[in-house]
Chain A
């Protein structure tokens, strides 16, 4: 079963606008990661935030984590058509396996 939910399920914006995606999860985590998946291709790691961090930046990406609410957000600033993809959050859980538990994803469309 999947860990949590991304919201919205789908998002359509114009090039240059910002895109915000949210992720909620259920169990205690070691870290939370965001991945991007282009149509028909594998997942690409974007950014990782640890459970003791609240915010992290990488280029045009900004991730926040609120462990008290079990939620995270991914902000993509100044979006480009090439950002069109599905975005998934994935959690690394405490105690045991190295596996990642993914959400259902947000499908982002950036219109030129």
Chain B
């Protein structure tokens, strides 16, 4: 089947706007991850779901960032009152089972905050 998909692929927001980024993991994958990748850097962990449970949100940089996965499949990362420092590529990854180390990444959403 299809890999991990993310939408939109590109998003331009004015500072202060709210944005919502969507991730469709590989069907049947239990674990879902969000990462933030700044230009020229490696991805940095934001949050992790196992099914619908958010088990680790230690990487979310502020309370403006919120993620959900209500039915254990599609996930949404929401950023409220966007700031320029939020500009980055947001990557979603999924893995088949909890403890399955290989993660499958989507193409990312490039967010630019003006």
- Is chain B a partner of chain A in the same complex? yes
Supposing A33-B102, A98-B95 touch, asked if A103 and B42 sit within 8 A by C-beta, the answer is yes
Number of interface residues of A (CB under 8 A): 25
Task: Collect the chain B residues with CB atoms within 8 Å of residue A41's CB.
Answer: 107
Restricting to B46-62, which residues have a CB under 8 Å from any CB of A? 48, 50, 55-56, 58-59
Supposing A98-B99, A100-B103 touch, asked if A2 and B41 sit within 8 A by C-beta, the answer is yes
Partner of A101, one of B45, B95, B101, B102: B45
Once the chains bind, are B107 and A48 in contact (CB under 8 Å)? no
Once the chains bind, are A102 and B44 in contact (CB under 8 Å)? yes
Report B100 CB to chain A, min CB distance, Å. Answer: 8
* C-alpha gap A103/B89 in the complex (Å): 16
Restricting to B21-59, which residues have a CB under 8 Å from any CB of A? 31, 33, 35, 40-45, 48, 50, 55-56, 58-59
Task: Collect the chain B residues with CB atoms within 8 Å of residue A42's CB.
Answer: 4, 91, 105-108
Once the chains bind, are A97 and B56 in contact (CB under 8 Å)? yes
Task: Collect the chain A residues with CB atoms within 8 Å of residue B20's CB.
Answer: none
Report B30 CB to chain A, min CB distance, Å. Answer: 10
Task: Collect the chain B residues with CB atoms within 8 Å of residue A35's CB.
Answer: 105
Once the chains bind, are A45 and B103 in contact (CB under 8 Å)? yes
| B interface footprint on A35-77 (CB within 8 Å = 1, 0 otherwise) | 1000001111100100000000000000000000000000000
Instruction: Judge whether B98 is part of the interface by a CB distance below 8 angstroms.
Output: yes
* C-alpha gap A88/B4 in the complex (Å): 19
Partner of A33, one of B33, B40, B101, B108: B101
Report which A residues bind B (CB closer than 8 A): 1-2, 30-31, 33, 35, 41-45, 48, 88, 90, 92, 96-105
